[in-house]
Structure 1
């Protein structure tokens, strides 16, 4: 499998990942759990991940290699002890979906699987938001809105949102006292389908 196309974003440490291979690497429930664990708890070994996720180390090692090939995790050489490698989630990734016509049918199927897994998670998060907001002490925030935008303005809004994420982005190793891992979501869609216009 070819290495994913990863390009540094101008002026910062962000990398744009647009290769279908990286998206295929994500399209597995255990790999998503691994990324979530690393993002929330910081670097881990296959042994500590196996214990935390209830898997065996052989299985974890296989999925870690797939995530590494996809450019989604990286080893932490300064923490290595003996033969055991430490892993962390790659920081500063901007995952961009390739155009449909540039993907094979297998890649499109993997992306659909990933979208379905993410949708299931987002629905669970929305339900949590509804049930936990009143007692969250300000930790649950949300907003809904409606605007009339051109496609170019919507793309500009999305890019501004990514800039805002970069401004507040940090991993568990850089988090100040009192910080908690916070899940952030954003999506937009036309209020009426194109066929109704």
Structure 2
């Protein structure tokens, strides 16, 4: 099971276990999480149809995501054998320190980095190609600032707090809300 520790007064939980890393390092699981995050709760049958997979495959991956604490079933919506799934809200997923990972876990970590990089490159392409036609839905900023390590840490924590302030799932969003993919990373320029 995942290791959790409270990080703030809002109930936001930090998870940083190798089990979560393993769950995230599979492309279909990332697609499942994205679908639940953008479209809202779903059954394995509706997920299979939306993602072009069979229900047996989806059920296996849903169990892996549930065990890692990334999704949960919705008992009040489930009936009989039909289970409804949703992403767990309020998680701050952190990578375990590299020196605490086994060689196999480092391989999973590298695979997750590769999958995320592919997605981020595609998002950058979409931003460049579609920004003019987005009616203001695509926003971005690039900056160069001089920070100490502790200031960078504080900036990162402030960014996470800002995300938490605006975070909600599709079932809680107003009718005019859209799913928006946000990215932030800092890289030393020298």
TM bucket normalised to smaller:
over 0.9
Pairing partner for 1:6 from 1, 4, 7 = 4
The correspondence of residues 41-52 of structure 1 with structure 2, limited to 5 A, is: 41-52=39-50
Mapped pair 1:160 → 2:158:
yes
In the alignment, which residue of structure 2 is the partner of 1:140? Answer: 138
In the alignment, which residue of structure 2 is the partner of 1:19? Answer: 17
CA distance in 1, matches of 2:14, 2:145: 28
CA distance in 1, matches of 2:137, 2:167: 17
The correspondence of residues 169-188 of structure 1 with structure 2, limited to 5 A, is: 169-188=167-186
In the alignment, which residue of structure 1 is the partner of 2:61? Answer: 63
CA distance in 2, matches of 1:128, 1:15: 31
In the alignment, which residue of structure 2 is the partner of 1:195? Answer: none
Following TM superposition, by how much is the alpha carbon of 1:40 offset from its aligned partner in structure 2, in angstroms?
Answer: 0.3
Following TM superposition, by how much is the alpha carbon of 1:6 offset from its aligned partner in structure 2, in angstroms?
Answer: 1.9
- Runs of 5+ consecutive residues of structure 1 not aligned to the other structure: 193-197
> Per-residue displacement from partner, 1:24-73 (whole Å, max 9, x unpaired)?
11100100000000000000011110111111111000000001111110
CA distance in 2, matches of 1:143, 1:113: 28
CA distance in 2, matches of 1:6, 1:172: 25
> Per-residue displacement from partner, 1:67-99 (whole Å, max 9, x unpaired)?
111111011111001111110011011011111
- The alignment's TM-score, normalised by the length of structure 1, stands at 0.95
Following TM superposition, by how much is the alpha carbon of 1:7 offset from its aligned partner in structure 2, in angstroms?
Answer: 2.4
- Runs of 5+ consecutive residues of structure 2 not aligned to the other structure: none
CA distance in 2, matches of 1:13, 1:78: 23
The correspondence of residues 80-99 of structure 1 with structure 2, limited to 5 A, is: 80-99=78-97
CA distance in 2, matches of 1:13, 1:98: 21
Number of aligned residues = 190
Following TM superposition, by how much is the alpha carbon of 1:21 offset from its aligned partner in structure 2, in angstroms?
Answer: 1.1
Mapped pair 1:38 → 2:36:
yes
